[in-house]
Structure 1
Amino acid sequence: MNHNGLTADAAAYEEIARDTRARQLQAYRLREALFKGLQVESPESPEDRQEALEKILQVVKSFVRVARSPFSSSSPNTPPSNAESPLHNKPDTPTNTTHFDLTELATHQLLHDEDAVGGADEQLQYFLLTMLRLSLTCPFKDVRHTFKHFLQTLKANGITPTPQARHLSPSYFIHLDDIFSLETKASRYTTVQYPRPGNISYSPWSADENTSNDTVEEGRKEEQDEQEDCAKTGSPEEASTTGGRAADEYVRQMLVKTYIDEGRLANVFRVIAFFPTYYEIYHTTYSKTIKSSIGPLPRVWRIYLAILVAAQQRCQYLVSLLKLEFLHVGGDPAWLKGLAYCPPKLRPMSRLILVLARQPWRLSEDDIRALMSNTVGSALGESWSKGELVQAVVVIATFLGLSSFVLGCGIAPELDMCGGFSVTGGGKSENKGVEHELDTRTTMVRATEDAARAAASHATGWYDSNIAMDNDDDPASDDAWIATDDTTPPDDDSTRGQHSPINQDDFEQTTELISKLKLSKDSDLKQELLESLEGGEADTGQRKLSIKTSRSVIERPRSPVATRSLDGGVVYDDLSRYVDPVLDESIEIKDFDDEERQHYEEFMLGDYCYEDHGYELVNQFLPDLGEDLVEEFDEAQSITDWSIFHQVTEAAVDTSPLRYAIWYRVQQILGIVKDDYNYDDISRYLSRRTSEYIKKVCQQPDAIRRTDWSNIGLSLRPEEKCHVNLLVASARKQALLCYGLSILATL
């Protein structure tokens, strides 16, 4: 073919690609506009959400009538368009509206355009996945119930393959009963306890310990009434799908605000909600880091940098979440093919990420100067400015820390993303999630379970026989619309929470630790607590500080929850494409040990620390974020509930020595030393096994498994284990900021 022919073919391809992209965006924006109508809290006018719900159902029913077989590459026989079913609109149904707005026009075009990308099948798939997610994670009951009933009806009538959740809890390691409910009422009515700053001795938002029995009985009566209503409507019991720990109004409003702002209540934030006061601060810093318009780096570049970090850490959860955001804000899908397809200016960041992740003490001024010069690129404009690098370091440190938390806590995939759902009746399929809606149509090879495991092993470097594929058999339980799994939750500490059988060694270690903490000479925080209580007695009467468990010490049966026997850390994509393979081999994970000390100096916090020096540089290019990060670190260190495990005692346990031991052990691993900290406290308060766990979460979080979570070296409640991971993640983030910013400050 001659040159002109090649040019003509290329031009035709480009035209097709542009047209395809336009259709993808049209379909996405249609769905986004429809579901945006649900992101309102209007008690005075509940008809607003009802109208949005009716419009969504109308559109989805239209897709159901014309779709062939969503979630499948095959096209099995489907009911004819005039088939009678509860989902096909009748003239007298409330979802038949008389007006024809722009949304209906767009839907009409997608339904009847044979050339539309993915056609009705694909669009129905994404609608059903969004409905599945909201049926279980939306904080508004009317939305959950409407979508649950719709999906149940779809499945019961065999109208179309229907997605089901593979795991109801936001974490593989934490049972749903231990997660805050999406409602202020749950199946267990007890005083709401959660860690908070040390200067707050009891929650100002939740019921106090003097809550009357009448209030409890009233709550139980209302719960019984709700269950009777559920029985009439066929809806499942709320507590079995929304969380078993009662949330107070403060937590409830925090979750609602997140959903209204984001349109998604992500699993990672549902777990961080264990620490409500920290959640508020972290959500602010996270939004300023990745979502806001401050700073010299475009949002698309920041998100892509975060993808590179998450991929290097083999954190599939964050890669999927960030990929979705990257595409939705207009990122070029070609970049997602790998590091070789992104702008040349971004490619050298792979080295910076690897050094900070594995050997941060080796980061040198030469490394930074190379990025700021034209030597790393092939053209002008490919060098990095100081402000861009400051923002890049903040992004990298944030997502290295967050990866430690996500992988350490076993955060499960989002319900509408790959790994979060399965399909019954659709045949073996790729089951791509919504994160693939706007990408280039590259096929994931998952023909058989063996092939899938081989791909995961190639991508991650480890083989895990627990990587479970989709189960197409009809589920046995009545709640099978929620999950296709026929397995029961593993009967171990990881899912049964604080009332699981206790490891005797861990219990003895915990008891010994409590004794050490009570005998600690550093009693400043204890004194502050006592003064706080004495000052509060004038208003609250003879209030005593009661260290309680999150629910009664009497064991209650767990709600049956569908789960997968997954072990965390599952990878579905080839994440190695986001990492420079040569650098990945040459830059190894190391400890700052005696051998390293022969060549590199320790980083002394007395010379440079974030709270005294680093925040000023961040504020210079990212206004207010520097101070917000100081507050974030302080909050992570100070939150406490003055107890360990579920000891019921009138004597508060000051856990600050333990918290500081975790914090400075992490930074010690990374080569950072605090001049005035007594490092003997690390061996005093951390057992060998606990120290090993901390090191693993810090350096190799992708290797964390259920057995690690269950054998942390201490008998801890689920939220206490999450706090350990939070301390590790925050200390790591702060340490990496110190390394990067201290060099940038000298340039």
Structure 2
Amino acid sequence: MGYHPSYLDQFIKIQNFILRGDGPLPFVYRHYIAIMAAGRHKCSYLINLQKQEFLLQGGNPDWLNGLDHLPKKLRNLYEINKLLAHRPWLLKTSHLEELTRGNQNWSLAEVVHAIVILTHFHSLCSFVFSCGVNQELNQIDDNTTDLGETTNFTDETSESKQVDPNEGGPPSPTEPEVAITTLVQRMKTLSEQTEECTPVELAKRFENIETQSAEIAVVGSEPQETPADIGCFVDDSTFIYQDFAKRSDPHSTPIFRVQDYSWDDHGYSLVNRYYNDVGNLLDDKFRTAYHLTYYTMGGRTEIDTSRFRRAIWNYIQSLFGIRHDDYDYAEVNALLERALKAFIKSAACYPERVTKKEYDKVMREFKHSEKVCYVMIAKFNAGPWVDV
């Protein structure tokens, strides 16, 4: 994130606030909730960091033996953790009501604080895996390599690095990656179009994207057996992301229209009401991420990248059933080729399957700092509750 100081600054502020600042939850609860969140995506890097913080705050070491050792109040949070991590559209009022009733009840302020921590770490898992951080640190732990050998995290090496064809290589000749020159021309063409679509046509185009997304296979390998030191923090490991278009009951889980309930008009004030000041910090982070650009693409400068960034932003939200009524989703197909969609879908929905090799295979003409920027957009939207 150091490539983007303005975003890093906002990220550090919000993470410090929710873990160490004023708030309704005890500090040991905060770090254990972070462990629970990272466990859903099997992110050993974040789990180990939060284990250390948990113990430094005086947490009970027995809790680190797994979910069965938790107090009932904390254990009751797990169902919401599971839903938010994989299928947030299934979260209902009844889940919150169950937490706020009974002897081991949560206050609404505690629930809001917990949800902010859960979604923060769910989305952070996407960044950690998509940039190869978790993989590299695991390799170091195995004494198979060192950070300097695996990172290659400079703009210069990112552009010039040659990839062994046996290690993935560029996209296949049948699905070549769209060149930056072509991408820039497409954005220009889209900006010059004056014909407006009817609301019915816009809705059909969203549905097309939704259907196509369900047909896109994720990158990376199939999930492997979860190590015991991670598995003890995971319950119902078979519950994973399901394509929104394939949800079991479309009638009871309709498409979520941002215009009906948005962060700006509703979410911001609601969060601030129950967890003072966190709404301000979240708002600053959201706006920084949405507008983050240096007007460059690869070696080209003075490029308006807003359409490309918005296509990524809205495509990710469509994976979770969120629709912007005023957006033409045909732009997603115009600007994001299939290989990039597969990477984005994996980063947002199956981050534990993404490796550094997959990161290297997409957006090959872009500088590393630019790729990190787009991964941060995926990270941000992997916690889609922010718009609901």
If the length of structure 1 is used for normalisation, what is the TM-score?
0.44
Displacement of 1:384 in angstroms is 1.4
What is the SS of the residue equivalent to 2:68? helix
Larger Rg belongs to: 1
- Pair 1:622-2:275 in alignment: yes
Secondary structure, counterpart of 1:407 in structure 2: helix
Match of 1:323 in 2: 51
Question: In 2, distance between residues paired with 1:402 and 1:489?
Answer: 21
Summarize deviations over 1:229-260 as a string: whole Å, max 9, x none.
Answer: xxxxxxxxxxxxxxxxxxxxxxxxxxxxxxxx
How far the C-alpha of 1:518 sits from its partner, in A, is 3.1
Please show how residues 96-135 of structure 1 align to structure 2 within 5 Å. none
Q: Within 2, Cα distance between the matches of 1:491 and 1:411?
A: 12
Q: Which amino acid aligns with 1:711?
A: K
Tell me which residue corresponds to 1:590. Answer: 242
Deviation at 1:705, TM superposition (A): 1.5
| Letter in structure 1 aligned against 2:385 | L
The residue identity in structure 1 corresponding to 2:233 is Y
- What amino acid is the match of 2:243? D
**Does 2:153 correspond to 1:519?**
no
Instruction: Report the Cα offset of residue 603 of structure 1.
Output: 1.4
> Which aligned pairs between 1:477-556 and structure 2 lie closer than 5 A?
496-501=157-162, 503=170, 508-521=178-191
CA distance in 2, matches of 1:364, 1:489: 43
Shift of 1:489: 5.6
Task: Provide Cα deviations, 1:493-523, integer angstroms capped at 9, x if missing partner.
Answer: 9993112248487664332112112334279
CA distance in 1, matches of 2:330, 2:192: 14
Change (3 A) 1:507 1:692: closer
CA RMSD of aligned residues (A): 3.0
Alignment partner of 1:658 out of 308, 313, 316: 308
1:654 CA drift (Å): 0.5
Contact 1:509 1:714 in 2 (8 A): no
2:335 maps to 685
Match of 1:600 in 2: 253
Q: Deviations over 1:154-204 (max 9, x none)?
A: xxxxxxxxxxxxxxxxxxxxxxxxxxxxxxxxxxxxxxxxxxxxxxxxxxx
Closer, same or farther in 2 for the Cα pair 1:619/1:706, shift >3 Å? same
Conserved? CA contact 2:296–2:303, under 8 Å: yes
Percentage of identical aligned residues: 28
Distance in 2 separating the partners of 1:736 and 1:700: 17
Looking at both structures, which has the greater relative contact order when contacts are Cα pairs under 8 Å and sequence separation is at least 6?
A: 2
Check whether the contact 2:129–2:135 (CA below 8 A) recurs between aligned residues: no
Shift in alpha-carbon separation, 1:316–1:522, aligned structure 2, 3 A? farther
C-alpha distance in 2 between matches for 1:406 and 1:495: 22
Q: From the superposition, tell whether residues 715 and 620 of structure 1 become closer, same or farther in structure 2 (CA, over 3 Å).
A: same
Q: Secondary structure at the match of 2:297?
A: coil
Task: Choose from 128, 143, 150 the match for 1:406.
Answer: 128
CA contact (8 A) 2:363 2:371 kept: no
* Structure 1 unmatched runs, 5+: 1-271, 375-379, 422-468, 472-482, 524-568, 740-747
Cα deviation, residue 664, structure 1: 0.8
How is 1:22-33 mapped onto 2 (pairs within 5 angstroms)?
none
Q: How many residues align?
A: 348
- The equivalent residue for 2:106 is 384
CA contact (8 A) 1:507 1:715 kept: no
Tell me whether 388-397 or 495-504 shows the greater mean CA deviation.
495-504
Could you tell me whether the CA contact under 8 Å between 2:125 and 2:351 is conserved in 1? yes
Match in the other structure for 1:736: 385
Superposition deviation, residue 573 in structure 1: 5.5
Mapping of residues 100-179 of structure 1, within 5 Å: none
Equivalent residues of 1:289, 1:395 under 8 A apart: yes
Distance of 2:2 and 2:149 partners within structure 1? 26
Partner of 1:700: 350
**Cα contact 2:42–2:230 (8 A) shared by 1:** yes
Q: Partner of 1:712 in structure 2?
A: 362
Q: Which amino acid aligns with 2:157?
A: R
Unmatched runs of 5 consecutive residues or more in structure 2: 164-169, 194-223
CA distance in 2, matches of 1:508, 1:592: 27
Which residue is equivalent to 1:301? 29
- Judge conservation of contact 2:297–2:366 (CA < 8 Å) in 1: yes
8 A Cα contact 2:131 2:356, kept in partner: no
